[in-house]
Structure 1
Amino acid sequence: MRDIGTASGPGSSPGTPLRGRVAVVTGAARGVGEALARCLSDAGMLVALLGREEETLSRVAASLPNRSVCVEADVTDRTALEDAARQVGSELGPASVVVANAGIAVGGPFIRTAADLWQRVVEVNLVGSANTARAFLPQLNDTRGYFLQIASTAAFGSAPMMSAYCASKAGAESFAQALRGEVEPDGITVGIAYLHWTGTAMVAGIDDHPVLQALRRNQPRFARRVHSPAQVADWLATGIAHRAHHIYAPPWLRWCQPLRPLFPALVARITRRELRTRSRTELAADVSVLGAGGLADWYSYLSRKRH
């Protein structure tokens, strides 16, 4: 596969394929997004951090070793993303790497989850990724760049009580696969990253969600390990440098791809046992937005809706 360093560009040199180039990371205020922004900056990139929490973004940007900008933008707002793309191009230059990382999740029964909340998860995780690609593809076309879609093992086998998240991540994977074929003739590479258990605020309350707890408990010991955002970001940055079509975090996930047809039935069997032991009242109490980033997005959405 063509390495990002083979194209000429400002600051590029053999052995430093990312140095001097511009990267855009959505959902960069915390978690994997923050860690990846830091990792890419350490590799010599100029990083644009996009997200909903301007104050948090500014603190992250100020701590990076290389020049950066932060832009408060909702990935479901196409106009805001178009403005963000113009600002990034003006202040840093055209993007060579764009990472569609912004994501939120809600846990709980579908029927008990507010329709607006369920839809918001899909809009951020799936539609937001498409909006990000739409806004930055002109720049990636100019730089013959790399677009990375952050997906999840939730796309391998959908778990009850996580219907919006699983549907959105499966959709994001499918979107990226379709986009790849369209833009490769233009010299743009599209990668998909599959993340497993990652130590972000989104999974901090995993023990409060019986289905996720059961799924993790029934996995092999090595598969239950929770990896730090820094470790995941390192895997992602390595894949970005190599313009990888697929990035697995952790790497052993690559061996799960041939087994994917088996996963839906396996997940259903594990979760069925768990759901049968809990009353509908107990399950209804488990509806919640997961993680500080998801809560910030949801509260901001509700505030805009009221006004």
Structure 2
Amino acid sequence: MRLRTRDRPLEGRTVVVTGAARGLGAALARAFDARGARVALLGLEAEGLREVAACLNHESACWEVDVTDDATMAETARQVRARFGPVSLVVANAGVAEGGPFTDSDSQVWRRVIEVNLVGSAATARCFLPDLLDTHGYYLQVASLAAMGTSPLMSAYCASKAGVESFAHALRAELAHRGVAVGIAYINWTDTDMIGGTDARTVVSELRAHMPAPARKVYPADHVADRLATAAERRKASVYVPGWLRAVQPVRALLPPVVTHIARTELARLDATQPLEATGLLGAGGRADERYRHAP
């Protein structure tokens, strides 16, 4: 095996990426593969995982697993360790989203967003932390601009991303003296299937339309993944894509009243013209989650 260098710190290391069958997760798998890592791909869609793995140049393997299933995740971690040895880097990327008024939301769909995004991240960390402690590794939590602000009609997603941010902060403080680094990735709109069809969804398209112009821009998944992989190489405490999101941190306390002021007018206007309906889980990933949970 080629020796790692400062220029290629992940070469020969084992990296775990959840939600790796499509979108940002698949792009992350490619980004880490390009840096010489062995990649363990976790997700719900076995065929999609195999297709991603087949495109990688270095050793990889995939596991079909629900990140909210503690027992199956623990067994998956055991299998990854048996296949590749101890894991050096874990990216908690798996996530789903839904939109619409909270008062009309399906309680099970709302709960599922919290379970996948927050509980699933905690289950991922719990199962792979023994490896990260052995390797003095790095855990990267994928969060969102939604963790710093708030958005009407996206209550479950905002709550889940605020939750994973707090979870990652707590985990960082808890593990610092044991040599494990914890990072948080704050990302904005990324070109994945989760938002690919949002223009057809009144709820989400209206949400984007009332953001400032820079905040409406959609970034390619490979661009976001490359930035996150570089941050992982450097064991960064935080990474912002796009970079201007960093400027939101000092003023984040001002966002909720501003959003409320705008929403008071705009939601009243929308309610008067057409009903705002719940979207259900968004994108192909959301549909895959529904199929997986309801399979006989």
Q: Same fold (TM over 0.5)?
A: yes
Residues 213, 270 of structure 1: CA spacing in aligned structure 2 closer, same or farther, 3 A cutoff? farther
Matched, 1:204 2:200: no
User: Structure 2: which 5+ runs fail to align?
Assistant: none
Contact residue 184 and residue 237 of structure 2 kept, 8 A: yes
Once residues 204 and 85 of structure 2 are traced to their aligned partners in structure 1, the CA distance between those partners, rounded to angstroms, is: 42
Once residues 122 and 281 of structure 1 are traced to their aligned partners in structure 2, the CA distance between those partners, rounded to angstroms, is: 31
Matched, 1:119 2:111: yes
Once residues 198 and 135 of structure 2 are traced to their aligned partners in structure 1, the CA distance between those partners, rounded to angstroms, is: 41
Contact residue 99 and residue 278 of structure 2 kept, 8 A: yes
Contact residue 136 and residue 179 of structure 2 kept, 8 A: yes
Instruction: Give, in angstroms, the shift of residue 264 of structure 1.
Output: 1.0
Matched, 1:163 2:155: yes
Worse-superposed segment, 104-113 or 200-209:
200-209
In structure 2, the residue matched to 1:254 is 246
Give the aligned residue type for 1:97: L
Once residues 197 and 100 of structure 2 are traced to their aligned partners in structure 1, the CA distance between those partners, rounded to angstroms, is: 13
2:49 aligned residue (31, 34, 57): 57
Q: Percent identity?
A: 51
Q: State the superposition RMSD in angstroms.
A: 1.8
- Structure-2-length-normalised TM-score: 0.95
In structure 2, the residue matched to 1:129 is 121
Give the aligned residue type for 1:228: P
Instruction: Give, in angstroms, the shift of residue 265 of structure 1.
Output: 1.4
Give the aligned residue type for 1:131: A
Contact residue 133 and residue 180 of structure 2 kept, 8 A: yes
User: What's the CA shift string for 1:234-293, capped at 9, x where partnerless?
Assistant: 110110011000010111111111010111112222222221023389445343221101
Matched, 1:217 2:209: yes
Instruction: Give, in angstroms, the shift of residue 10 of structure 1.
Output: 7.6
Contact residue 20 and residue 44 of structure 1 kept, 8 A: yes
Matched, 1:80 2:72: yes
Give the aligned residue type for 1:220: P
- Structure-1-length-normalised TM-score: 0.92
Give the aligned residue type for 1:161: L
Contact residue 214 and residue 271 of structure 1 kept, 8 A: no
Instruction: Give, in angstroms, the shift of residue 105 of structure 1.
Output: 0.4
Contact residue 136 and residue 180 of structure 2 kept, 8 A: yes
Matched, 1:287 2:279: yes
In structure 2, the residue matched to 1:138 is 130
In structure 1, the residue matched to 2:14 is 22
Give the aligned residue type for 2:265: R
User: What's the CA shift string for 1:154-213, capped at 9, x where partnerless?
Assistant: 112221211111101100100000011111111000000001011111112332444543
In structure 1, the residue matched to 2:268 is 276
Instruction: Give, in angstroms, the shift of residue 111 of structure 1.
Output: 2.2
Give the aligned residue type for 2:71: T
User: What's the CA shift string for 1:59-95, capped at 9, x where partnerless?
Assistant: 1111101000100110000111111111111111111
Once residues 224 and 123 of structure 2 are traced to their aligned partners in structure 1, the CA distance between those partners, rounded to angstroms, is: 24
What does 1:32-51 align with in structure 2 at a 5 Å threshold?
A: 32-51=24-43
Once residues 51 and 150 of structure 1 are traced to their aligned partners in structure 2, the CA distance between those partners, rounded to angstroms, is: 15
Contact residue 109 and residue 287 of structure 1 kept, 8 A: no
Residues 260, 47 of structure 1: CA spacing in aligned structure 2 closer, same or farther, 3 A cutoff? same
In structure 2, the residue matched to 1:70 is 62
Number of positions where the alignment pairs a residue of Structure 1 with one of Structure 2: 296
In structure 2, the residue matched to 1:4 is none
Once residues 11 and 228 of structure 2 are traced to their aligned partners in structure 1, the CA distance between those partners, rounded to angstroms, is: 16
1:264 aligned residue (256, 262, 285): 256
Once residues 235 and 55 of structure 1 are traced to their aligned partners in structure 2, the CA distance between those partners, rounded to angstroms, is: 27
Once residues 10 and 131 of structure 1 are traced to their aligned partners in structure 2, the CA distance between those partners, rounded to angstroms, is: 33
User: Structure 1: which 5+ runs fail to align?
Assistant: 1-8
